[in-house]
Amino acid sequence: MVLSSSKSYSKNNPNVVKISSVNKLNSKRFNHNGQIQIYQSSYRGSYSSIIRDSLRNAALGRKVLLVQFMKGGVKQGISNPVKLCGNLTWVRSSNSFDQYHSEEIENNKDLKKSINESTYKLWDFCKKALLSGENDQIILDEIFLAIEKKIIEKDDLISTLENRFISGDVILTGTDIPKDLLLMANQITELRS
């Protein structure tokens, strides 16, 4: 039990911890991190339940960040996030792989570079969010595909997750999940068709 007032009560009770004003300021940031949850599936586009749950959490007052790395087509990017339920920020890449055929991307170096840069900017935005502690839940949709395409470094994701500051959960989705990330997870859910 923690009390910050009533000096006479705390003198006689060994179960009470006194908090000075210095400790009150430092107690704002605590080292409790939420869980890392991984949702894996053998096919893309199977995560509608996660998006539904993020909307519900936002409606219940939790601050949620939903980031879709490989979805696009709405020219959104980090400068034009969609706000839903007052607490959900939904961000997609401003230029993504889903907007083009894979052959078109491979044959056009400028297009591939633009997509990679846009996706990496989104990852940089996510890293700051994971380290800031401003969100109650962060969903990184299809981040493993961005790793597979060598846009995001696996070790960078692992390091960021190890150093994150978020009291809620971090949810990662995708196919072909690297083993070291599976070992970090508190919960792994396999979605089947």
Residues 46-63: what's their mean pLDDT?
85
Dist. CA 143–CA 166, nearest whole Å: 18
Reported as a single tens digit per residue, the pLDDT across 145-181 is: 889 889 899 999 999 999 998 778 999 998 888 899 9
- Residues 6 or more apart from 123 whose CB is under 8 A from it? 69, 143, 146, 151, 152, 156
Name the domain count of the chain.
2
Complete DSSP assignment for 70-86: S--SS--TTTS-EEETT
Please report which helix (H) or strand (E) contains residue 190, including its range: strand 187-191
Examine the domain organization and report whether 15 and 59 are in the same domain.
no
Reported as a single tens digit per residue, the pLDDT across 57-76 is: 999 999 999 998 887 666 67
The residue ranking higher by pLDDT, 183 or 108, is: 183
Model confidence, pTM: 0.76
Examine the domain organization and report whether 20 and 43 are in the same domain.
no
The pair phi, psi for residue 74, each rounded to 5°, is: -115, 10
Residues above pLDDT 70, as percent of the chain: 75
**Residue 46 confidence (pLDDT):** 59
Dist. CA 144–CA 154, nearest whole Å: 8
Examine the domain organization and report whether 7 and 87 are in the same domain.
no
Indicate the pLDDT class of residue 183, thresholds 50, 70 and 90.
very high
Examine the domain organization and report whether 134 and 171 are in the same domain.
yes
Examine the domain organization and report whether 91 and 6 are in the same domain.
no
Q: Would the pLDDT of 36 be above 90?
A: yes
- Length of the chain, please? 193
**Residue 78 confidence (pLDDT):** 78
Dist. CA 190–CA 129, nearest whole Å: 26
Longest dimension (CA), the chain: 77
DSSP annotation of 87 reads T
Q: How far, in whole angstroms, is CA 117 from its chain's centroid?
A: 19
54-57 LR contacts (CB < 8 Å, sep 24+):
54/88, 54/137, 54/139, 55/84, 55/85, 55/88, 57/87, 57/88, 57/136, 57/137
CATH classification of the domain holding 88: 3.40.50.300
The pair phi, psi for residue 149, each rounded to 5°, is: -85, 5
Examine the domain organization and report whether 15 and 68 are in the same domain.
no
Examine the domain organization and report whether 45 and 65 are in the same domain.
yes
Indicate the pLDDT class of residue 87, thresholds 50, 70 and 90.
very high
Residue pair 93/118 in contact (Cβ under 8 Å)? The answer is: yes
Indicate the pLDDT class of residue 53, thresholds 50, 70 and 90.
confident
**Residue 97 confidence (pLDDT):** 67
Domain that holds residue 23: 1-30
Q: Would the pLDDT of 86 be above 80?
A: yes
